[in-house]
Amino acid sequence: MKKGLIIVLVFVLSFGFLQVATNLTSQGETLTATAKGFGGDVTVTLIVDGDDIVSVTAAGPSETQGIGSNAIDQLPAKIAEADSADVDSVSGATLTSNAIKQAVRTALGIESAEQPAEEPVKETSAQPIPEGALTATAKGFGGDVTVYVVVDGDDIVSVTAKGDSETQGIGSNAIDQLPAKIAEADSTEVDGVSGATVTSNAIKKAVEEALASAGTSSEATEGALTATAKGFGGDVTVTVVVEGDNIVSVTAKGDSETQGIGSNAIEQLPAKIAEADSVDVDGVSGATITSNAIKEAVKAALEAQ
């Protein structure tokens, strides 16, 4: 009798343990899939519970740091929160975002039903070259960027840019958007396109060179003061327009300064100096040497008048 009770007890306990193990495993199934990103493969790992996406992680070591890596870091959590791959891509990282979403769909077995259409390639070379335009070329991210600038006296009437080797969805955005901004502002002192700093800088540099080739400048430079100081990578030259004791405008050029560091000072600090009407302003964080060069050159220009 006791032996029978023991057998029954063992059976009940074994069944209970089996149920617990089954419940634990049923709480999450792990799925993986891979899709092609911008720099290479992007792999996602999902934990799903029935129709619910419990968590998503992504790995893409070949994606561009600061661009595609943003999608790797941010998008999986959005997908898990939305319980769907139908979420907005991370700005400036369309290709990596699409790869993550495609891999998620593939892992869930719905790729064929909901795979996003391939992003169309924009034809930049189809733009007509304006008659009588000034032209110049500068080095972009993927290759040469060429601009065509139409001027009327000191006014920039229009700007067209071409850069067939620039990254689609990143540099191509600068090619499409920045020329109109320069023409509208009548100056290259405009913000670059987010996520496309190298291409943006190439466009602005090429426009400056095109204008210089005709003896024109993107700023009113009559009676301007110029001076040069040593930056981090090479010479930094400033052009200062003054009216009496007031600093009307400052522009700076330093093609050898580090992109994303010294170039930030080149782009940001001149406006601060003009606004403060003084070189006694804070330098740009992380670009102390270039900032000091700009301020030293402005000071030298002012002292030379």
123-218: CATH number: 3.90.1010.20
pLDDT of residue 76: 95
pLDDT of 77 reads 94
User: Among all chains, which residue has been given the structure tokens 């968590």?
Assistant: 55
CB of 109 closer than 8 Å to CB of 129 = no
Q: CA 206, CA 215: separation in Å to the nearest integer?
A: 14
As a whole number of angstroms, the distance between CA 32 and CA 44 comes to 6
Sheet holding 225-230, edge to edge: 225-230, 235-243, 246-253
**First vs last C-alpha separation in the chain:** 114
Same topology, domains 25-114 and 219-305? Answer is yes
What fold, for 219-305?
Sufe protein. Chain: A (3.90.1010)
89 vs 38: CA distance, rounded Å = 14
User: Whose CA is closest to 224, among 237, 205, 210?
Assistant: 237
The Cα 20–Cα 3 span in angstroms is 26
Give 33's strand partners.
44
> Encoding tokens for residue 22?
């089954």
Distance separating alpha carbons of residues 51 and 47, to the nearest angstrom: 11
Those residues with Cβ within 8 angstroms of residue 142's Cβ, 6 or more apart along the chain or in another chain: 163, 165, 166, 167, 171
Please give the backbone phi and psi of residue 249, each rounded to the nearest 5 degrees, phi first. Answer: -155, 155
pLDDT by position in tens, the chain (length 305) = 555 556 655 555 555 555 544 554 445 799 999 998 887 899 999 999 888 899 999 999 988 877 888 899 999 999 999 999 989 888 778 889 989 998 998 888 874 433 343 333 333 334 566 667 888 888 888 888 999 888 877 788 889 999 888 888 888 889 999 998 998 888 888 898 888 888 998 999 888 888 877 655 444 445 578 888 999 988 898 888 887 788 888 888 888 888 888 888 988 898 889 888 899 999 998 889 999 999 998 998 888 76
Q: Does domain 25-114 have CATH number 3.10.620.30?
A: no
* Assigned token pair, 255: 């093609």
- Give me the residue label for tokens 């003054």: 242
Residue 45: what pLDDT? 95
Domain boundaries, the chain: 25-114, 123-218, 219-305
pLDDT recorded at residue 157: 85
